A and B are shown apart, each in its own frame.
Chain A
Amino acid sequence: MKILVPIKRVPDPQTNISVKGDGTGIVTDNVKFVINPFCEIALEEALRIKEQQGGAEVVLVSIGQKVAQEQLRTGLAMGADRAILVLSDDELDAATTAALLAKLVDQEKPELVLAGKQAIDDDANQTGQILASMLDWPQATFASKVEFSGDKKDVTVTREVDGGLETVAFTLPGVITTDLRLNEPRYASLPGIMKARKKELKEIPLAELGVDAKPRVKTHKVSPPPKRAAGRKVETVQELVNLLHTEAKLI
Chain B
Amino acid sequence: MAHEFFHPDMQLFIDHRVDWARYFQLLRGTEADLEAEVDTYRSILSTLDEICEDIETGALGHWHEEVRLVDGKVVVPPHIAAGYEKLRKAGLVCLTLDPAYGGYGLPILLNSHYLEMVSRADTSLMTILGLQAGVAGDIQKYGSDALKQQYLPRFASGELQGCMDLTEPQAGSDLGAIATRVTEEDGRYFVDGSKIFITNGGSGVHLVLARDGATYDQSKGTTNGLSLILCPVELPDGTRNKITVARVETKMGIHGSPTCAIEFDHAEGFLLGERGNGFRAMLDLMNQARIGVAAQGIGIAEAAFRKARSYALERVQFGQPIIQQPLVKSMLTTMALDIKSARALLYRTCAMIDLTDALAAYLKSGRDDAGDRTKLQEEYERNMQLIRFFTPLCKYIGTEVATRVTRNGIQIHGGIGYMAESVAGHYHSDAIITTIYEGTSEIQASFALREMSKGALFTALEATSEELKKLDDRFPEETRHVHAGIQAINDSLPGLMTDPSYAILNAKHVCDMMIDVVVAAELLLQAEVDPSKHLAATSFIRSRMAMVDMHAKRIQGGDVTRLDRYTKILGL
Measured CB to CB, the residues of A under 8 A from B are 12, 14-15, 32, 73-74, 77, 186-194, 196-197
Contacts and interface: CB of A to CB of B under 8 A. Distances in A.
Interface residues of B, number: 18
A191 B2 contact: no
Contact of B47 (A12, A188, A197): A188
A14 B89 CA distance: 24
A189 B90 contact: yes
Interface stretch (B36-44, B296-304, B346-354, B562-570): B36-44
Given A194-B104, A197-B36, A188 B43 contact: yes
A193 B2 contact: no
Contact of A77 (B36, B43, B51, B95): B43
Task: Enumerate the 4 nearest inter-chain pairs by beta-carbon distance, A residue then B residue, closest first.
Answer: A190-B91, A189-B90, A189-B91, A188-B47
Contact of B40 (A14, A186, A187, A197): A197
Contacts, number: 44
B466 interface: no
A12 B46 CA distance: 13
A31 to B, nearest CB: 9
B104 A190 contact: yes
Given A188-B47, A189-B90, 4 more contacts: A77-B47, A187-B50, A187-B51, A188-B90
A193 B43 contact: yes
Interface string B79-101: 00000001001111001000000
B44 A190 contact: yes
Interface of B: 2-3, 36, 40, 43-44, 46-47, 50-51, 53, 86, 89-92, 95, 104
B43 to A, nearest CB: 5
- Secondary structure of the B side of the interface? helix
B310 to A, nearest CB: 13
A195 to B, nearest CB: 11
B3 A193 contact: no
B36 A187 contact: no
A187 B104 contact: no
B266 to A, nearest CB: 40
B145 to A, nearest CB: 24
8 contacts: A12-B2, A14-B3, A74-B43, A189-B89, A189-B92, A190-B44, A190-B92, A190-B95
A191 B3 CA distance: 25
B168 to A, nearest CB: 37
A8 B141 CA distance: 46
Nearest to B99: A194
Nearest to B50: A187
A184 B36 CA distance: 29
